[in-house]
Structure 1
Amino acid sequence: MALAIQTITFAQQYTNSWLHPAPKKADQPLKLGVLSSAQINAAAAIHPAESHPDILLYGIASRDNATAKSQARKYRFMKSYGSYEELISDPAIDIVYISVPNGLHFEWASKALDAGKHVLLEKPFTSNAAEAKRLVECAERSGKILEEAFHWQFHPAAHRFREILEDEKHGKIIRTRAIMTSTPEIPAGDIRWQYDLAGGSLMDMTYVLSFTRFALKAGVPPKVISAKARPATHDPRVDSAMEATLLFKTQTMYDVHSTIYTDMKRGWAMGIVPRFWELPSIEVETEKSTIYFYNAMMPHIYHYIGITDKASGRTKYEKCYSGGPQWKERGKPHWSTYRYQLEAFIDKVRGREPVHWVTHGESVAQMETIDDVYRKSELPLRPTSTLAM
């Protein structure tokens, strides 16, 4: 039900923009440029920027000038651009949020960095690990901030989840299982089905690996034990679904078996009922407990962390919409994962220490893991941009 919770987020963000008036902007706020007219922009960048005092909705670009002008009017941007090149060439823009198709991430993120812009880049970071490494080199050369937008990691619920896992009373982690599916299916013709644009369920639903690696504080797994793809009927290079088991090694050097499952065409229960309950989630079994983070992807809408004691069978539930072990007194209960993410991103750009951060190393490790799963499944890696060669 990934599409459903995204729709709910859009509605929630729109409502919050009315219920919680925008604050007065700083004297010299950072100017934001949005690259593309993707549907996710409103929830992921526009409404969060409206509610942040130190960022201004400055410009939005589309490859169609009329679309760009329409989006600028709708969301009250100061400028619109009929090409991506025009936006990144504007010296007034400080930050570029990039939500183009996966296969174009490297091209436009590298060009924005070369133009002297800070970049908040939608996941997945790039098409593959080779591009990821080249993009990191580009960021380091430019001296600008580059971050992969794994927004869920910035929410207080994610921090409380990790805090629970680190509590010694639960014992060592034994295994994990993460799942993300779409029912109804991702529509035919959507860019997520296009191999040349780095489509596929593992690419689009890369959250399952993010959940897993976050829980384990792990890098690249030493081994992908198994990986089985369900190829798309229109193109066998594209994974309609992917199930894999990976062997991770924790920071304290013990092994954990982790299963991930992604599905862009999830069948309905009994063929008639959409699996509306099947939200992106992760279950972690430890020596003494089973810890389940329900709706880890969009915890601002609704979530719970269920902690089941294996000896007694009793389960207690926790929720965390603000504060938590990292944000403490900062943040508000109505803030979305994207708003928390923007708070950290602006802190980083302004030279302050962010509460949480997705490092370059973590993004490269994420893409290396995706590549390893594709290899094990015997599907080809997503194609590398000629600009990265």
Structure 2
Amino acid sequence: MASLVRRVWSAFSPPNPPPKEPKALKFGILGAANVAPLTLINPAKSHPEVIVQCVAARDRSKAEKFAKANGIPEVYDSYEDILNDPSIDCVLVPLPNALHFEWAAKAIRAGKHVLLEKPSVSNSKEAAVLFRMPELSQPNAPVLLEAFHTRFHPSFIYFQSLVREAPVESVSTESMIPWWGTSKNDIYFNHALAGGSIMSMGTYNFAALRLLFGAEPEECSSCDTHHYTDGIHANCDWDVHARFRFPGGRIGEAKTTLRGPTIWTPSTAKVQLQPVTLPEDQPNQIKTRTRHLTLHGIVHAIFWHRIDIHDTYEIRSKDSGALIRRWEEKRSEKAYTFKEAGIDSPGEDYWMSFRHQLEQFVNRVKGRETLTWVDGEDSIKQMEMIDMAYEKSGLGARPSTGFFETFEKGGEL
């Protein structure tokens, strides 16, 4: 408990925060969103090359209150003012899902590096247009990153390394927010703003399936939802159970809800690996291992996570196949730092996944090597999987805005 308290305290109040370097990147935040402190403001405190310089919101008074609460020096009148300021290097786009495409595209056109909240956009059609903008393939192009923070934490990267030790047979994932953590009037449940549980917690489930299989789904075989049917909430799912078929007939399952039980439970990924043959001293015997892996705490690993490794060993006669011996071994591991994961990369145990993400984002902007990354084609595939599930559910892919339709036709920004 003491280590948990210390980690969480230090995540929000880093010990001995470093001075900012002369060429630190200046960030502007488009929108006074509640997620911005987690995604950028707190991580920036311990990063010597990041300064959160300004914020703008549709309501200036809201932006001023947000800036005062978070120690942001400047408040701008509009998002456009931030994009037009040559002293601002990067922007965070934490707006409602339906506005992601518009403001990411405008930021790229303005030459800003973009940290874009996940899910990147409303649907795969938007993703293909955004991540393949010509500006992104030019020399000295802006950096665009879908902020899939969980993928940057040591625990998930280490878990992936364990999964890669043998072919994957099946994967199941679960995530949830308790019923008291959301309201029907939240943007999660606004269809025009690209709401729904798949677009919220479900994105973590779907990404985990893709990454752990190391492949893209060929089909969504089923997608059962509970969803609203009235007004602006119509066709917004609050929970989902989806099944996907991956290459080789392998099955991946995703369960997620925004109206879960009263007591919160960590997100999990369970992976069944195919048996592998191990070296055996006896020439007339075959030794195999079947491994089952579970990662508890995918989303906020800093608070608590655990990797369970359950191995089943068998020794059989090479001639007859008869079982000679069978036993099980179980152990659990944690990786709050890359050192614990056996990887040579900087980081402290109090770094949240958002802080690790920011480290790699800055590295990419500065032209340095990145340990891990989410490239544009990856983000497109992620949205294709989301659309696949929504189409199977009967709810349909999330709609695009009029701005996208105009943009796609070559209209002016």
| TM-score w.r.t. length of structure 2 | 0.84
- 1:264 and 2:258 are equivalent in the alignment: yes
Q: Distance in 2 between matches of 1:198 and 1:333?
A: 35
- 1:332 and 2:348 are equivalent in the alignment: yes
2:375 to 359, 369, 372: 359
Deviations 1:41-75 (A, max 9, x none): 11110011121001111111111111212222222
Q: Which moved more, 1:331-340 or 1:77-86?
A: 77-86
Alignment match, 1:271: none
Q: Distance in 1 between matches of 2:363 and 2:215?
A: 25
Alignment match, 1:5: none
Change (3 A) 1:68 1:11: farther
2:42 maps to a residue whose letter is: H
SS of the residue corresponding to residue 229 of structure 1 reads strand
Q: Distance in 2 between matches of 1:359 and 1:16?
A: 27
SS of the residue corresponding to residue 66 of structure 2 reads helix
- 1:55 and 2:50 are equivalent in the alignment: yes
SS of the residue corresponding to residue 72 of structure 1 reads helix
Q: Distance in 1 between matches of 2:82 and 2:39?
A: 19
Unaligned stretches of 5+ residues in structure 2: 275-289, 314-326, 406-413
Q: Distance in 1 between matches of 2:50 and 2:249?
A: 44
How is 1:6-45 mapped onto 2 (pairs within 5 angstroms)?
15-45=10-40
- 1:241 and 2:239 are equivalent in the alignment: yes
1:286 to 268, 273, 278: 273
1:90 maps to a residue whose letter is: D
Q: Distance in 2 between matches of 1:236 and 1:11?
A: 43
Q: Distance in 2 between matches of 1:120 and 1:10?
A: 29
Alignment match, 2:197: 201
| TM-score w.r.t. length of structure 1 | 0.89
Deviations 1:214-258 (A, max 9, x none): 112223x11111111211253441111111110112xxxx34210
Alignment match, 1:100: 95
Change (3 A) 1:131 1:294: same
1:19: Cα distance to partner? 4.7
1:100: Cα distance to partner? 0.2
1:182: Cα distance to partner? 1.5
Aligned residues of 2:270 and 2:294 also touching (Cα < 8 A): yes
Deviations 1:321-350 (A, max 9, x none): 112558524111111100000000000000
Q: Distance in 2 between matches of 1:11 and 1:363?
A: 34
How is 1:168-317 mapped onto 2 (pairs within 5 angstroms)?
171-185=166-180, 186-205=182-201, 206-219=203-216, 221-234=217-230, 235-249=233-247, 254-266=248-260, 268=261, 274-276=262-264, 278-287=265-274, 288-311=290-313, 312-317=327-332
Change (3 A) 1:13 1:45: farther
Q: Distance in 1 between matches of 2:392 and 2:147?
A: 27
Q: Distance in 2 between matches of 1:61 and 1:12?
A: 31
Q: Distance in 1 between matches of 2:106 and 2:33?
A: 19
Q: CA RMSD in A?
A: 2.0
SS of the residue corresponding to residue 179 of structure 2 reads coil
2:393 to 365, 377, 382: 377
Question: Matched residue pairs, number?
Answer: 366
Change (3 A) 1:361 1:293: same
How is 1:70-219 mapped onto 2 (pairs within 5 angstroms)?
70-138=65-133, 139-140=135-136, 143-167=141-165, 171-185=166-180, 186-205=182-201, 206-219=203-216
1:320 to 335, 340, 346: 335
- Structure showing greater Rg: 2
Change (3 A) 1:19 1:364: closer
Alignment match, 2:279: none
Deviations 1:94-131 (A, max 9, x none): 01011000111001111111111000000001000000
SS of the residue corresponding to residue 27 of structure 2 reads strand
Change (3 A) 1:148 1:284: same
1:92: Cα distance to partner? 1.0
Deviations 1:337-386 (A, max 9, x none): 00000000000000111111001011000000100111111112111122
Q: Distance in 2 between matches of 1:326 and 1:118?
A: 31
Alignment match, 1:3: none
1:192: Cα distance to partner? 0.4
Q: Distance in 1 between matches of 2:332 and 2:100?
A: 38
Q: Distance in 2 between matches of 1:284 and 1:332?
A: 28
Q: Distance in 1 between matches of 2:23 and 2:116?
A: 24
Deviations 1:294-340 (A, max 9, x none): 01111111100101123534421010011255852411111110000
SS of the residue corresponding to residue 214 of structure 1 reads helix
2:184 maps to a residue whose letter is: A
SS of the residue corresponding to residue 82 of structure 2 reads helix
Identity %: 31
Q: Distance in 1 between matches of 2:272 and 2:172?
A: 9
Unaligned stretches of 5+ residues in structure 1: 1-8, 269-273
1:140: Cα distance to partner? 1.9
Q: Distance in 2 between matches of 1:357 and 1:244?
A: 26
